[in-house]
Structure 1
Amino acid sequence: MQQVFGRNSLWDQLPLSAVSRKSGYHWFVVFTVCIGAFMAALDASIVNIALPALQQQFHIGMNAVEWVSLVYLLTLASLIVTFGRIADMFGRRWMYASGFLVFMISSFLCGASTDLSALLLWRVFQAVGAAMLQANSVAIITAITPSGDRGKAIGIQASAQGIGLTLGPALGGAILTYFDWRWLFFVNIPIGIIGTILAFLLLPKDKAKSSSRHFDYWGFLFLTPSLIGLIYVLNMGTKQGWTSPSILLCIVMAFIGFAGFVREELRCKAPLVDFALFRNSSFTYGNITGVLSFTIMYAVLLLTPYFIESILHVTTITSGLILTIIPLGMTLFTPISGMIADKFGIRVPTVIGMSFASTGCLLLGFIGGNYTYILLIAGLFLLGVGMGTFTPPNNSSVMGSAPSSRLGVAGGILNMARTFGMGFGVTFGGLFYQLFFSLNTQVHKTGEQVMISAFRYTYFTMTLLGIAALIISATRKQTNQPYPDFFIGEGI
């Protein structure tokens, strides 16, 4: 892109010197990145509300309309690590700015779609834009923010995601009340315009890259189908049946693709994913605990609406309001956690965070009897507080353990761990509930008692996962600073 604009082009004269020379310039960059984080989170939480309306609009079944969400997730999961590698090779600034542009244009085209096929096509391009943003967001913050503020900065970015997740259901409901489903996509346009302009004007220059720009095409060709197969299995295995032909085909595709990918990466001189990153315990344990934490949260997000509506018999609107307690807790505590990490290191806030999250799941395990509403609200809030306290320092430790030349790939793997956690949470939450439901049918006589017991034991299982993540966090190496300064002032 820099070659297209020319050596002495306007692009090369950016960012605005009046801003970039300020002592707190990195906060302008963090604010710009937060717009992308907010937009992507808002879109993720708002689209699911549109599925019933889309089903009626296009006269299709639930199995077909689910692809509106699934095709987005599959595309995002398959490209995020690849875009991280490309950004490491050619620059993060142009990719992040272009990601805003792609996301905004495709959002407009999604809203203008006249049939399901067109909507699915533009959802793919929307996911491409989201992958370009997510593969670079944490990497840009890590590169430009001084180490004394970096935990706080990553916490603010996580808080922006939490705000997007919180506003999504309420905003989506309001839009569907007064407008039609198309405006759920059009709402991204003004946010995208602001983000695109700020990205071009404020993001720092790309650091001069190495002359070696070999891209691992074979690694990409092996990794993409393996990720698509795995994410599809995690999201559709329970619905379609674990022995259905499509699920078995995806399992085989994922296994063969991953085996070929590992073989290729060990042989390649410039691999797509450098396995040396996993030799660092902070990187490895950070991603493992990241998977566990999102598994817990999304299992709870899957099960709790069913409990609220089937046991407590409240309206869908009330159920949605209760569920906003989780992102509310995350939003409030992510900046605080980042500041704690900057002052005391990584281990303290990650241990505190997983302690809160585990306690929240434990409280949820006692719902269904006396004080159900109190336990439900307290449990969801503690889970949100725990996730908000745990995530920023954990992300900090992962990014801080990667060399500057691999920040994009590290950020892609970090986001991939989150995606896997989401898939595992949905899959295992459903599987454990079904397992405990079957076991309890032999003990309880009424259907409601069976359901309550199944919910309880599943929440207790999530508590055990939280304790496992807590133990891993407690045994991690303590650091006074989350990570070193890489190249502050030299670009990203």
Structure 2
Amino acid sequence: MPSVAALLREPARPAAVRRQRMAPWFAVGTVCFGAFMGQLDASVVTVAFPALQRQFHAGLAGVQWVSLGYLLALVALLVPAGRWSDRAGRKVSYLYGFVVFAGASAACGLASSLAMLIGLRLVQAAGAAMLQSNSVALVVTSVPGPSRRAALGVQAAAQAVGLASGPVTGGLLIAAAGWRWIFLMNVPVGLVGVVAGWYLLPRTRQRAARGGTDPGGMVLLATTAAAAMLAISSLSGLGVPAWALAGCAAIAVAAGAGLWRWERRSAAPLLDLRALATAGIAPALGGALCAYLVLFGPLVLFPQVIIDHGGSALDAGLLLTSLPAGFGAAAVASDRLLPKRWPNRRRCSAGGLLAAGCAAALAVPAPHAVSVVLLGLLGVGLGVYTPANNAEIMAALPAREAATGGGMVNMTRGIGTALGVAVVTLGLHTGTLLADRSAGPALALAALAAAALAAAWAGSHAVRAPAPGATGSGQPAGTDGQR
């Protein structure tokens, strides 16, 4: 029986791969499998909400927990997974992440009840945390400094391709074979990712020093996020008594305050608040949260609106494709099309303002063709914003903590995505209470526009460079890509 050390040993790439001039980009391409897989799963699930409501005889407020449960578990696990990866090795964590995610996806496709499906989604989230906490870190430690923003753009584009493929793929699968296949399709993608990662990803060269864990911080973070989402879900029609709603809100506030105090005193904090303050990246992380709220909100909103008006899941998927398609195109091309002299902060401001304007314009009733254009431009704005914001964050962190930093980036994305689900569901439920079919979508889109403005403001704030002697992830350093 193999030892634990053997199971955690990172395999070297073949010499023929290592010597290739394109070896760093082979690593980026492999990382894109995970980025594609995670976002495909996210967008497919939202298109399946109406089918899940029919299958399990549940309302939207209950079915949304297929997405929210996954996202909350992801939020709680991303930073611990990133910290463990920085110490044990990013490649081995990434490979095992594929295995767990693909196995859990197969189990989700066989779930016999809504509760079982939600529970299996928590396991799926553990695999996704191992993937996502490493995705940004593997890019910035594999690609030379001058090419890193472009590489982050490619990785963001892979996420966008996953998002773009999800609505149409989900609509086709649900129409042809049923909702179970939206999970089962992850299995072959996961197998390809494991094989590609084994041969194409570099071993970890710079590892963080061994240190303690922070289970208390993880419990408090999960409690804060879950209680807050339960409170919002209760307001969205979950059907719980008022005392339960008040209790959830009180627990969220108390756990949040406890998390703040705990992390300031912890010897090995889950969220290093002092490091965040020193690097000055807290506003940029807030911007990442708002950007993903805006990106994910329409993926929940438009399937509900279109199906309520007599359309199908495929109709919703075709309409929504323009949003992630615009995101992917801008993430890849903005580095070439925008003036080279524009700093990341200006790119963030421009992208956030464009997204805010498009979200506000979508609240005005218009033909589908106009909505397709506006959703595409909304994606363009977020595609300009996201790589620039990520580059700012990672440039402020030491290379040895790249996966931990990537985990924080993806954790804030996860919170933003969960809020996108919850805020849109709350807006739609409010419209139902007002007996006005147009009020719910308008309220949801107003919230998305406000979040985009907040992202523009947050992205315009500079982060601090690493202290002298520290090697920033955004600086030319490390030779991970050569191993």
User: Does 2:372 match 1:377?
Assistant: yes
Aligned to 2:469: none
Aligned to 1:323: 320
Query: Given the superposition, is the C-alpha separation of residues 191 and 296 from structure 1 closer, same or farther in structure 2, using an over 3 Å criterion?
Result: closer
Runs of at least 5 residues in structure 1 that lack an aligned partner in the other structure: 442-446
Please, which of 325, 330, 335 is the counterpart of residue 332 of structure 2?
A: 335
Aligned to 2:456: 470
Matches of 2:304 and 2:67, distance apart in 1? 20
Aligned to 1:409: 404
Aligned to 2:190: 192
Tell me which amino acid in the other structure corresponds to 1:184. I
Aligned to 2:201: 203
Matches of 1:130 and 1:179, distance apart in 2? 25
1:165 alignment partner, SS class: helix
On the 8 A contact 2:283/2:461 being kept in 1, the answer is no
Alignment of structure 1 residues 63-462 onto 2, 5 Å: 65-240=63-238, 244-280=242-278, 283-305=281-303, 308=306, 316-339=313-336, 343-344=340-341, 345-365=343-363, 367-368=364-365, 372-373=367-368, 375-429=370-424, 451-452=437-438, 455-456=441-442, 459=445, 462=448
Matches of 2:418 and 2:34, distance apart in 1? 23
Query: Given the superposition, is the C-alpha separation of residues 454 and 145 from structure 1 closer, same or farther in structure 2, using an over 3 Å criterion?
Result: same
Percent identical: 31
On the 8 A contact 2:24/2:142 being kept in 1, the answer is yes
On the 8 A contact 2:166/2:317 being kept in 1, the answer is no
Query: Given the superposition, is the C-alpha separation of residues 3 and 141 from structure 1 closer, same or farther in structure 2, using an over 3 Å criterion?
Result: farther
On the 8 A contact 1:292/1:465 being kept in 2, the answer is yes
On the 8 A contact 1:273/1:409 being kept in 2, the answer is no
Matches of 2:316 and 2:11, distance apart in 1? 51
Q: Decide which moves more: 104-113 or 122-131.
A: 104-113
Matches of 2:395 and 2:154, distance apart in 1? 17
On the 8 A contact 1:341/1:393 being kept in 2, the answer is no
Query: Given the superposition, is the C-alpha separation of residues 21 and 213 from structure 1 closer, same or farther in structure 2, using an over 3 Å criterion?
Result: farther
Matches of 1:352 and 1:482, distance apart in 2? 25
TM-score by length of 1: 0.84
TM-fit CA distance, 1:330:
0.8
1:44 alignment partner, SS class: helix
Aligned to 1:61: 58
Matches of 1:86 and 1:359, distance apart in 2? 40
Aligned to 1:485: 476
Q: Decide which moves more: 424-433 or 171-180.
A: 424-433
Query: Given the superposition, is the C-alpha separation of residues 463 and 265 from structure 1 closer, same or farther in structure 2, using an over 3 Å criterion?
Result: closer
Query: Given the superposition, is the C-alpha separation of residues 392 and 222 from structure 1 closer, same or farther in structure 2, using an over 3 Å criterion?
Result: same
Matches of 1:226 and 1:160, distance apart in 2? 31
Tell me which amino acid in the other structure corresponds to 1:412. G
Tell me the matched-pair count.
475
1:205 alignment partner, SS class: coil
Matches of 1:191 and 1:74, distance apart in 2? 24
On the 8 A contact 1:28/1:202 being kept in 2, the answer is yes
TM-fit CA distance, 1:242:
8.8
What's the Cα RMSD here? Answer: 3.5
Aligned to 1:4: 4
TM-fit CA distance, 1:302:
4.3
Matches of 1:281 and 1:407, distance apart in 2? 13
TM-fit CA distance, 1:45:
1.8
Aligned to 1:15: 13
1:293 alignment partner, SS class: helix
Query: Given the superposition, is the C-alpha separation of residues 2 and 220 from structure 1 closer, same or farther in structure 2, using an over 3 Å criterion?
Result: farther
TM-fit CA distance, 1:246:
3.7
Kindly provide the CA deviation profile for residues 145-184 of structure 1, in whole angstroms up to 9, marking residues without a partner as x.
1111111111111111111111112212222333243322
Runs of at least 5 residues in structure 2 that lack an aligned partner in the other structure: 466-471
Kindly provide the CA deviation profile for residues 218-259 of structure 1, in whole angstroms up to 9, marking residues without a partner as x.
323333322332343344542237973443333333333333
Q: Decide which moves more: 248-257 or 134-143.
A: 248-257
Kindly provide the CA deviation profile for residues 425-445 of structure 1, in whole angstroms up to 9, marking residues without a partner as x.
34444556777898xx8xxxx
1:136 alignment partner, SS class: helix
Matches of 1:221 and 1:119, distance apart in 2? 23
TM-fit CA distance, 1:37:
0.9
Tell me which amino acid in the other structure corresponds to 1:179. A
TM-score by length of 2: 0.86
Tell me which amino acid in the other structure corresponds to 1:134. Q
On the 8 A contact 1:223/1:258 being kept in 2, the answer is yes
Matches of 1:457 and 1:178, distance apart in 2? 34
TM-fit CA distance, 1:103:
0.8
Matches of 1:89 and 1:11, distance apart in 2? 12
Q: Decide which moves more: 380-389 or 107-116.
A: 107-116
On the 8 A contact 1:346/1:482 being kept in 2, the answer is no
